[in-house]
A and B are shown apart, each in its own frame.
Chain A
Amino acid sequence: MSDIALELDNLTVSFYTKQGEVEAVRGVDLTLHQGEILCIVGESGCGKTVMCQSVMHLLPDYARIKAGRMIVCGEDITGYSEKQMRNLRGSRMSMVFQDPLTTLNPTIPIGKQITESILKHKKLTKQAAKIEAIGLMEMVGIPDAAKRFDLQPHFFSGGMRQRCVIAVALASNPRILFADEVTTALDVTVKSMVLDLLLEIREKTGVAIVFITHDFGAAARIADRVAVMYAGKIVEIGDVEEMFYDPRHPYTWGLLSSLPQIALETGILHSIPGMPPSLLNPPKGDAFASRNKYALPKDFEEMPPMFKVTDTHYAATWLLEEGAPKVERPVLIKRENA
């Protein structure tokens, strides 16, 4: 099997609403390696979730993949039918959702929801599936799993339920796990435990994780690579070190400087002025230009391509073009031993 788990090639997704076409994802190129944790960071409504759901083919009927290709483990799944997707969902890729209180069926015992996923893709007896499910529950850190197997979700706390959802998602050994804001609904201590759990799972199973978040802190903790999304496009992508110590896109600067931790140092809690643009009629040029104090005239006219910073680090801003005026980047996070 090749090293690449997921490859997106110019993925473009639109919603067709009464008001018109909403361009939710506008040409995303992305590669995800086996066993890698890629964090996708961005504001609400920037297309993070839509991107993942389109790979899973979970989009509502009024959404359509307009262009681009999606290749999962070397298989082009762009035009796959619902039936073909069903075999891949769960076994090849799986998804964990934001709110653990609503993503489990309230009337079905936890154990049964896990075995359902196992029995879908493996030929096992119910008894064997139960043993495997209990193993999974223990792996995601539910003590006394055998006793809790027959309990309904409402007996569990939010963090426990999120662990159960992760167990459901992992039940058929997927190669890719989409974690859609899995820590957003959890409190801080539970959040860090779930992040540790994801790292641990990656170690044990070698699953590649696409971790969607708007929390840079969580990204710093678990990511190998970070991608920043804005208005349906990836504006900067790079290794986690590069993204934090050497960000190049003004939007990434804005996001990093609005971290509360940074406000502690500078005394000012920065915020990015304005609102994200409507994707009903997306602006031409760089979508971030109107909120960007470093914007060049060219930013309003022409969409910047991805400029290469290093082999792993790319950013879409005209500031990186040769001959662009030098801009003093606000120093955000210093390397501790630099």
Chain B
Amino acid sequence: MKKHPVIKKIIKRILLFVVVLFVLSLVAFCLARLAPGDPLQSFYGDKLDTMSEVEKQMARERLGLDSDILTQYGRWFVNALGGDFGLSFKYKMPVIDVVSPLIGNSLLLGVTAYIVIFVLATVLAVFCVLHEDKFIDKLICKVGTVLYYTPAFWLGVVLVLIFSINLGWLPSSGAYDVGKANDVGNRMIHMVLPLIVMIASHLWYYGYMIRNKLLDEVRKDYVLLAKSKGCTRREIVWKHCLRNVAPTIVSIMAISIPHVTGGTVVVESVFNYPGIGGLAVESAKYHDYNLLMVVVLITGAAVFAASFIAQTINEEIDPRMKEMGTIKW
């Protein structure tokens, strides 16, 4: 039976997705284990100092840390296929139970920041292009660059100092007050400062990229034709140029997921915001292998899914990308 090309493409991408996840898990697994340090430290804490060699050896056997890396990976892989991702050494409970309550918090913060960053970056970029080389454009560029280079942890601390300690307007840490997990307003108040830091430290990186892309675009010939039709500058930038830059923006958005996620790591630890960003740092620090694997797989899957979606969107915006694909090299 001849398959529909779209279905064929989707099957191909899903297969690719599986392969990528497999390779990612293998690499992450091996790298984590090759890093110096003792995972028993996170399991037993200070008690480790008083344990004898024999006890340590037995503990390793019990945790499955005694065999060589590939055997360990094989065991992990088989279990993972069955949905068992193992025990967190630090929390002493299944990693899924450690991660699942925190994913929601991270998603809320990450997705909100992500959307605000790109909407704001696009609007700012268009504004700058419309006022190219005027004072306001230069000012935005300078301020944006300074903000981008301001370290997130420093900005976080300063904001906490001003708004939480001196003014007392906003909470300094956490995702919600005790017992108010389902209170939307309470959650939003807790997100304000982390969001500001996230946005400030990423906004201009993308804004500047989009601005420069747009500046290339407004110098193209079709802009002259649009202008000689009688279009305004604003119409040209919004309707013509932005559409042509959109594939680039979407691609940047897709590959920026690790970047923005990386940002949440810092922000989550500064504001003590319970999320998987903080968990990733913790798991790496304490050699909590199983936890690390899950965090890596979740982020990896998110990045891959995003680039898949981006590719699909881009083909819709600019059909030339589909046509190009049919040319055999």
- A residues in contact (CB < 8 Å) with B: 56, 58, 86-91, 94-95, 97, 99, 102-108, 116-117, 120-121, 152, 154, 165, 168-169, 171-172
Which residues of chain B come closer than 8 Å to A169, judged between CB atoms? 225, 228-229
Q: How far is the CB of A309 from chain B (nearest CB, A)?
A: 35
Q: How far is the CB of A151 from chain B (nearest CB, A)?
A: 9
Q: Would B225 and A104 count as touching, CB distance under 8 A?
A: yes
Q: Would A90 and B229 count as touching, CB distance under 8 A?
A: yes
Bound-state CA distance A105–B232 (Å) is 16
Q: How far is the CB of A185 from chain B (nearest CB, A)?
A: 11
B3 is an interface residue with CB less than 8 A from chain A: no
B240 is an interface residue with CB less than 8 A from chain A: yes
Residue-wise, chain B 201-226 has the 8 Å CB interface mask toward A (1 for contact) of 00000000000000000001110111
Q: Would B319 and A152 count as touching, CB distance under 8 A?
A: yes
Q: Would B230 and A165 count as touching, CB distance under 8 A?
A: no
Q: What residue in chain A is nearest B228 (Cβ atoms)?
A: A95
Q: Would A90 and B230 count as touching, CB distance under 8 A?
A: yes
Q: How far is the CB of B80 from chain A (nearest CB, A)?
A: 43
Contacts A56-B228, A58-B224, A120-B229 given; 12 further ones with Cβ under 8 A? A87-B230, A90-B229, A91-B230, A95-B224, A102-B222, A103-B221, A105-B244, A106-B320, A108-B240, A116-B229, A121-B230, A169-B225
Which residues of chain A come closer than 8 Å to B222, judged between CB atoms? 102-106
Bound-state CA distance A165–B227 (Å) is 13
Q: Would A154 and B228 count as touching, CB distance under 8 A?
A: no
Bound-state CA distance A58–B227 (Å) is 8
- B residues in contact (CB < 8 Å) with A: 220-222, 224-232, 239-240, 243-244, 246, 317-320, 323
Q: Would A86 and B228 count as touching, CB distance under 8 A?
A: no
Bound-state CA distance A143–B232 (Å) is 32
Q: What residue in chain B is nearest A101 (Cβ atoms)?
A: B221
Bound-state CA distance A152–B220 (Å) is 17
Q: List 7 A-B contacts (CB under 8 A).
A: A58-B224, A89-B230, A91-B230, A102-B220, A107-B246, A117-B229, A152-B319
Bound-state CA distance A277–B210 (Å) is 41
Bound-state CA distance A104–B317 (Å) is 16
Q: How far is the CB of A169 from chain B (nearest CB, A)?
A: 7
Which residues of chain B come closer than 8 Å to A86, judged between CB atoms? 230-232
Which residues of chain B come closer than 8 Å to A107, judged between CB atoms? 243-244, 246, 317-318
Bound-state CA distance A320–B62 (Å) is 109
Q: Would A89 and B228 count as touching, CB distance under 8 A?
A: yes
Partner of B244, one of A106, A121, A154, A165: A106
Which residues of chain A come closer than 8 Å to B221, judged between CB atoms? 97, 99, 102-103
Bound-state CA distance A154–B220 (Å) is 16
Q: Would A116 and B243 count as touching, CB distance under 8 A?
A: no
Which residues of chain A come closer than 8 Å to B317, judged between CB atoms? 107
Given contacts A102-B221, A105-B240, A108-B240, contact A171 B228 (CB under 8 A): no
Q: How far is the CB of B182 from chain A (nearest CB, A)?
A: 44
Q: What residue in chain B is nearest A94 (Cβ atoms)?
A: B228
Q: Would B228 and A105 count as touching, CB distance under 8 A?
A: no
Q: How far is the CB of B43 from chain A (nearest CB, A)?
A: 56
Which residues of chain B come closer than 8 Å to A172, judged between CB atoms? 229-230
Given contacts A97-B221, A104-B222, contact A154 B323 (CB under 8 A): yes
Which residues of chain B come closer than 8 Å to A171, judged between CB atoms? 229
Q: Would B220 and A89 count as touching, CB distance under 8 A?
A: no
The 4 residue pairs across chains A and B that have the minimum distance between CB atoms: A90-B230, A102-B221, A117-B229, A95-B228
Q: How far is the CB of B234 from chain A (nearest CB, A)?
A: 11
Q: What residue in chain B is nearest A165 (Cβ atoms)?
A: B225
Bound-state CA distance A56–B317 (Å) is 32
Q: How far is the CB of A173 from chain B (nearest CB, A)?
A: 13
Q: How far is the CB of A66 from chain B (nearest CB, A)?
A: 22
Q: How far is the CB of A300 from chain B (nearest CB, A)?
A: 39
Q: Would B320 and A168 count as touching, CB distance under 8 A?
A: no
Which residues of chain B come closer than 8 Å to A90, judged between CB atoms? 228-230
Q: What residue in chain A is nearest B225 (Cβ atoms)?
A: A103
Bound-state CA distance A120–B246 (Å) is 24
Which residues of chain A come closer than 8 Å to B323, judged between CB atoms? 154
Q: What residue in chain A is nearest B222 (Cβ atoms)?
A: A105
Q: Would A106 and B318 count as touching, CB distance under 8 A?
A: yes
Most buried by A among B222, B244, B319: B222
Partner of B230, one of A97, A106, A120, A152: A120
Q: Would A117 and B243 count as touching, CB distance under 8 A?
A: no
Which residues of chain A come closer than 8 Å to B318, judged between CB atoms? 106-107
Q: How far is the CB of B228 from chain A (nearest CB, A)?
A: 4
Which residues of chain B come closer than 8 Å to A104, judged between CB atoms? 222, 225
Q: How far is the CB of A128 from chain B (nearest CB, A)?
A: 18
Q: How far is the CB of B138 from chain A (nearest CB, A)?
A: 15
Which residues of chain A come closer than 8 Å to B224, judged between CB atoms? 58, 95, 97, 103
Which residues of chain B come closer than 8 Å to A58, judged between CB atoms? 224, 227-228
Bound-state CA distance A243–B226 (Å) is 35
Bound-state CA distance A152–B324 (Å) is 14
Q: How far is the CB of B130 from chain A (nearest CB, A)?
A: 12
